Amino acid sequence: MTLYKNKYRIESARKPGWDYAGNGAYFITICTQNRQHFFGNIQNGIMNLSIAGEIAQKLWWKIPDRFPHVQLNAFIVMPNHIHGILIIDRLPDNGRDAINRVSTTTTTNHNTHHSGGVTANHNPMLSDDSISKIIRWYKGRCKFEICKTLPEFAWQPRFHDHIIRDPAAFDRIRQYIQTNPKRWKTDKLNR
């Protein structure tokens, strides 16, 4: 750990130089605060969802409604965490969308200026939806909905992501997610 302003800080778990808004497949794990069992319980290798677990499951499947360039694959709600595969799959930029029609790039005196309409470079439509933004939306919606019936619900502040690099890893991770309830007694997240 390094110091920042005389305080220890948690190092970033993100891969340096990786575009987390670019196309790719990601294995996501999000834990509840203090790994509390808010989402239900496992009996005989089968996950029985609580109301909070049902909400977490329902909202995960709504991610593509909010982020149309995201595809979902394997997903499981466990008693104190969720695992899922998110796939960002943006179409190639063909210059025909509305932002590209109103955005301009000009070069004067060797300086490049980008304009996104009246908001210039601060246009929120020019920023890509990254994994962090997607997970922030998911966690926020879950917290809002779950706290209506379970006010003490909270997530851990961070989440874990793993970049899936090849088809073999994709299949291995998908199998891990699907069989997670059967391994719950030995799961390192089972506390």
For 102-119, how does the pLDDT look when each residue is reduced to its tens digit (9 = 90+)?
Answer: 334 444 444 444 444 444
Q: Is residue 96 part of a domain?
A: no
pLDDT-derived band at 3 (thresholds 50, 70, 90) equals low
Domain encompassing residue 144:
25-90+130-186
Q: Is residue 116 part of a domain?
A: no
For 15-61, how does the pLDDT look when each residue is reduced to its tens digit (9 = 90+)?
Answer: 555 565 678 899 999 999 999 999 999 999 999 999 999 999 999 99
Q: Is residue 101 part of a domain?
A: no
Number of structural domains the chain divides into: 1
Q: Is residue 118 part of a domain?
A: no
Q: Is residue 110 part of a domain?
A: no
What pTM was computed for the model? 0.73
Task: List the CATH number of the domain containing 168.
Answer: 3.30.70.1290
- DSSP characters over 32-91: BGGG---SEEEETTEEEE-HHHHHHHHHHTTHHHH-TTEEEEEEEE-SSEEEEEEEE-PP
